[in-house]
Homo-oligomer: A and B are copies of this chain.
Amino acid sequence: MQEGADWHTWPTYDAAELGFRDHWYPTIWAHQVGEKPVPVTVCGEKIVLVRDGDVVRGLHDRCPHRGVPLSLGRRQFPGTISCPYHGWTYGLSDGALRAVITDGPDSPICGRVSVATYPVVERMGLLFVWIGTLAEGEEPPPVERDIPAELNDNAFVLGGRTEIRKGNWRFAAENGFDEGHAKYLHNTALWRLFKVMPTWNLTRIVERDGWLIRVQDEVHWDAEFPGVGRFTNKRWWKRAPLPDRPGKNGDANPVIAALDLPGFVSIRLPGILRVAYPQFIHYEWYVPVDADHVRYVQLMVRFETGAKALAFKARYLAAIRWLFHGQFTAQDAWMVDVMDSPPERLYRPDLSLTAWRRHVEKSDLVVQPTAPRRGH
C-alpha cells in the first residue's frame, strides 16, 4: 500500500466517520426549542429535542410502534410527547410509554416499551447532548468534562453560530487545526484586511492538559520562491503582527494570559478548536451529523462582564459575526466541502494533522458505529 493511499495508519480515526461515543456534543440554541419539538442528528443518531418546562429533553426520534418520528408528535399531556399516529405517549424524562390513547387506560403494552433517552443540558445557551452508553441508573460525566476548562471557571460574554455544513466532521476538524492553509486560503478574507499573516512557519505541536497546541518556532512574513516569485501578506496599511503567544500581549486579557498558552491554536477531543487572541478566544466544535455533514458551532468569547462585555457583544453582532463567523469560516466550509481525501500526499506543515490523528489513536475512544440505528 502506497503511503497516503488510505488512512489505515490511523485505524480508529479511519473508522470514526460518525465520531466517538461517550461524549457531550453541542447542538442548537436552547431558545430554538419552544412548543414544537425539534429533530437533530448527532453522530448519526436521530434525536428529538422537546421542551419540558425549564429543561429540554432528548428522545430517540422514532416511535417503536411503526417507526413514525416523534418530532412530528403532539404535546398534549404535561411532561409527555405523543406519537401523531396512534397516540403512543412517552414520558419525556425517562422515555417510558405512559399511555396509549387508542388502546385505553388498561393497555397491556404500557410500561413494557420505552424509547431511548439522551441526556441534555444547557450551557452557554447551547443544548449539549450526551451520545454514549450508560448502565442502568448510571449518570453521564458532567458536561464540564467536554467543555474547555476556562469556560467553566470564568465569567464571560459570547456570540456564536450553530449550523450544519457539508463534509465529514474529520475534514472540518483537520481544516481547523491545519497549520498550513490559513495563511494562503484566508489571504483574501476581509477579517484579515488590517492584520498581516505570515507566509510560512516552522511549527511544533505540544500536548498539554488534553490539548494539542501549535507552537511557532519560526515565523516568516515573506518569501521568495525561486523561479516562481515573491509572496507576502504584508501591506502598508496592515497592523504589525501579533506576538507569538496570545498571553504575551501588553494588554492581554488576564484570563487568557493566565492560560499561558505557548501558541494561538489548539485542539482537543472530541473535536474542539480554540483560537486564542490576546483579548478574546474563538472556539469551534465539529459535531458529526452524518457521513457527509458536520454541525459547526462557533463561539467568540470575551472574559469580561459589565460594560466591556456589552461592548464586545455589540462588536460581535456588528462585525465579528459577519467577518469571522461568516465570510472567513465560509472559506473553510468551501474547502471542507470540496476536499476528497485519502488518497493524500502530506507535507511538512501537516504535522499538525498527523499529531491530531495520532492523538486520536492513542486516546481510549469508542467509535460510533456507522450502521443505521433504527430500533434499540
Contacts and interface: CB of A to CB of B under 8 A. Distances in A.
A26 to B, nearest CB: 26
A39 to B, nearest CB: 11
Contact of A103 (B200, B224, B375): B200
B229 A67 contact: no
Interface string A314-335: 0000000000000000000001
Contact of A340 (B62, B108, B220): B62
A262 interface: no
A343 B77 contact: no
B347 A107 contact: yes
A108 B351 CA distance: 14
A29 interface: no
A67 B113 CA distance: 48
B102 A338 contact: no
Interface string A38-72: 00000000000000000000000010111111001
Contact of A347 (B65, B228, B340): B65
A200 B101 contact: yes
B223 A105 contact: yes
A76 to B, nearest CB: 8
Contacts of A229: 76-78
Contact of A99 (B87, B228, B344, B349): B228
Contacts of A64: 343-345
A100 interface: yes
Contacts of A103: 180, 200, 347-349
Interface of A: 5, 62, 64-69, 72, 76-78, 80, 82, 84-89, 98-105, 107-109, 113, 180-181, 183-185, 199-200, 220, 223-229, 231, 335, 338-341, 343-349, 374-375
19 contacts: A5-B375, A64-B344, A65-B347, A67-B343, A68-B340, A72-B338, A76-B229, A77-B229, A80-B228, A99-B225, A99-B227, A100-B347, A101-B199, A101-B231, A102-B349, A103-B200, A105-B224, A107-B348, A113-B345
Given A77-B229, A86-B349, A101-B199, 6 more contacts: A65-B347, A84-B185, A84-B335, A98-B227, A102-B184, A103-B200
